[in-house]
Amino acid sequence: MPRDLLWINGETMPAEGALLPLEDRATVFGEGIYEVAIFYDGQPFMLREHLERWEQSAAGIELVSPGTLEEREARICALVEQSGHLDALVYGQLSRGHARRNHLFPDPLAVAPTEFWIVRKAPVHKPECYRTGVRLVSQPDERWAHCHYKTISLLPNCLAKERAHRAGGYEALLYREDGTVTECSSSNAYCVRGGVVWTHPATNRILEGVTRQAIMAAAASLGIPVREQAVTLEEFKQADEAFISSTTMEVMPVTAVDEAHIGAAKPGPVTLRLREAVRARVMRECGIPQAETA
């Protein structure tokens, strides 16, 4: 029987009921990094890329990531196998550790980081969303200046997504003061104009998604041009097609933003080609038989 498991600082236990120390810096300051990876049929998809981003995020906030990437990769794979989940979502988090509350960093020689990984069953998105596309609701981008680090300080993201949800949206499409679109609250955003995929460049204003990397590679192999340049919210709404991406949803078609229909208000051909290409890569790398895909 599959079970949700937690690995924390060298100990493995049931995920349910696990607690962090009261003054862990993740709790009192929202100070830390995280990653979310996916396994299909017991095999990881682009786990190495997730862990490389983990190291970059840790370095970006001056946080020492204990051990090596290879050790972390082996630990995660072993935890997933132990859990019994074949299709698994893995969440990992690293903070500066447990110390008396003080804005200054604790002495790293006296306080060890807190690292944990949770394995649960992978979520399943509704098939009709892929068939008909989803609606985004635009929200101002109120996040900090280092969105390229995957940190746990996600209050602006949560506020945007909650407000979009209350307005009947699937996701929040974020835009800056100058009107340019950055990304979504928990996914990257793209629009298609004249057969060209437009997406915000991988600067400090967005988190470069691992699935985004897969999309870029797929577009190159298919001969689909990509332009990494910001568009305005109005330009996004007037696009021929649009889609969003993340680790759990892969490529999700977008058919409306606010009250505006995107193109023909149905998933477009470029979106579908990229979705199929990314799905094919997942199948290939995770050994999923063709008959098992939706």
Q: For the whole model, what pTM was predicted? A: 0.95
% pLDDT > 90, the chain: 95
Q: What percent of the chain has pLDDT over 70?
A: 98
Of the pLDDT bands very low, low, confident and very high (cuts 50, 70, 90), residue 292 is very low
Element (H, E) at 28: helix 25-29
Mean pLDDT value of segment 144-168: 98
For residue 17, the model assigns a pLDDT of: 83
Q: Which of 161, 85, 156 is nearest to 117 (CA)?
A: 85
pLDDT score for 85: 98
Q: Tell me: the pLDDT tens digits for 17-76?
A: 888 899 999 999 999 999 999 999 999 999 999 999 999 999 999 999 999 999 999 999
Question: Closest Cα to residue 34, out of 74, 80, 6, 65?
Answer: 65
**Confidence (pLDDT) at 291:** 54
Q: Is the dihedral of CA 77, 82, 86, 88 positive or negative?
A: negative
What pLDDT was estimated at residue 215?
A: 98
Is 150 annotated as catalytic? yes
Q: Pick the catalytic residue from 121, 126, 150, 161.
A: 150
Contact call for residues 75 and 57 (beta carbons, < 8 A)? no
- Residue position matching structure tokens 């698994």: 88
Q: What is the pLDDT of residues 172-200, one digit of tens each?
A: 999 999 999 999 999 999 999 999 999 99
- How many helices and strands (H and E) does the chain possess? 8, 15
* Contacting residues for 28 by C-beta, under 8 A, at least 6 apart: 101
What pLDDT sits at residue 18? 87
User: Which of the four pLDDT bands, split at 50, 70 and 90, describes residue 165?
Assistant: very high
pLDDT digits (tens, 9 = 90+) for 227-276: 999 999 999 999 999 999 999 999 999 999 999 999 999 999 999 999 99
The C-alpha atoms of residue 210 and residue 190 are separated, in whole angstroms, by 14
Domains of the chain: 5-121 (3.30.470.10), 127-286 (3.20.10.10)
Average pLDDT, the chain: 96
Q: What is the mean pLDDT of residues 118-140?
A: 97
User: What pLDDT, on the 0 to 100 scale, is given for residue 77?
Assistant: 98
Whole-angstrom CA distances from 129 to 134, 199, 232, 240, 262 are: 6, 21, 25, 18, 15
Q: Are strands 181-184 and 188-193 parallel, antiparallel or unpaired?
A: unpaired
